[in-house]
Each structure stands twice: as C-alpha cells, then as structure tokens.
C-alpha cells in the first residue's frame, strides 16, 4: 500500500506572504478520517533563498526538511503506508525561533535558527 500526499495548502495571512508568491493549488477533501495539528520546525539554513517567494516554496517543498517531507515521515511513523492513504496539509501559522536578538539570544550561539510552522494534517484511509 502507499500514501499519496496531495501537498500543502498555504493558508497563512496575506501579510505573511511575499509580494510575488503564488499559493500552491492542492486537492483537498472533506471526508478525512484522521487529523492532527502539529508544529513543525524547518531549519532556516536549509531553505533560505535570496527571494522570499522561493524561501516560502522551499519551506513547503524542501526534500530534506520541508513540510511535505515531514508529513510524509509522520504518516510513515504512524503506519499509514500499511493501507492506501491520501493526505493533505493546511499551513496556518508561521513564526521563528530567532526573534530574541539581545546579546544573550540564541542568534549568537550554536542554536539552529528555524521556522516554526503550525500545520493540520488531514488523512483518509482506504
């Protein structure tokens, strides 16, 4: 069996979107049988690009640590591959762990800077 990941719906507020960013088109469904809201961490160094719209796309699609990859890993971990599964994700929150820029903040140490993404995963099992 296998999991089909339809992708990530970007439902962030328009104030958080770069001017030239186009939200992805994702096939969604209302007959899901499982849902889970999670906060995923995406390493900044892995996805940062010169253009904001490219960075936002990478937060979703990076093959190593993007939202889609992490959702695939979660579905594998819960055993969803044992049956035919279809999943999509809705991204509703974006923040980071580097807001503290005072002299004692993490930005001056070895702490990895990351984006925190609040997502809800919707899955249906056949």
DSSP string, 6-22: EEEEE---GGGS-TT--
Q: Which two tokens stand for residue 76?
A: 């594998």
* Residue 96: per-residue pLDDT: 85
Q: CA 20 to CA 61: how far, in whole Å?
A: 17
> Per-residue pLDDT tens for 43-99?
988 998 888 999 999 999 999 999 999 999 999 999 998 999 999 999 999 998 775
Counting the structural domains of the chain, the total is: 1
Report whether 53 contacts 61 (CB < 8 A). Answer: no
* Residue 19: per-residue pLDDT: 87
> Per-residue pLDDT tens for 7-32?
999 999 999 999 889 999 999 999 99
Cβ–Cβ contacts within 10 Å for residue 101, how many?
9
Q: Is the pLDDT of residue 122 over 70?
A: yes
* Residue 102: per-residue pLDDT: 58
* Phi and psi, residue 6, nearest 5°: -75, -15
* Residue 43: per-residue pLDDT: 92
Q: Domain span at residue 121?
A: 3-17+25-125
Q: Is the pLDDT of residue 125 over 80?
A: yes
Cβ–Cβ contacts within 10 Å for residue 13, how many?
9
């Amino acid at each position: 069996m296998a999991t089909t990941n339809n992708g990530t719906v970007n439902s962030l507020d328009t104030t958080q979107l770069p001017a030239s960013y186009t939200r992805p088109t994702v096939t969604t469904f209302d007959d899901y049988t499982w849902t889970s809201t999670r906060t995923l961490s995406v390493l900044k160094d892995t996805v940062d690009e010169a253009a904001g719209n490219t960075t936002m796309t990478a937060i979703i699609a990076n093959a190593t640590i993007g939202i889609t990859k992490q959702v695939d890993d979660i579905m594998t971990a819960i055993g969803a591959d044992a049956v035919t599964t279809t999943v999509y994700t809705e991204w509703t929150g974006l923040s980071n762990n580097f807001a503290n820029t005072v002299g004692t903040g993490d930005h001056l140490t070895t702490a990895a800077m990351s984006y925190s993404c609040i997502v809800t995963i919707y899955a249906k099992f056949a």
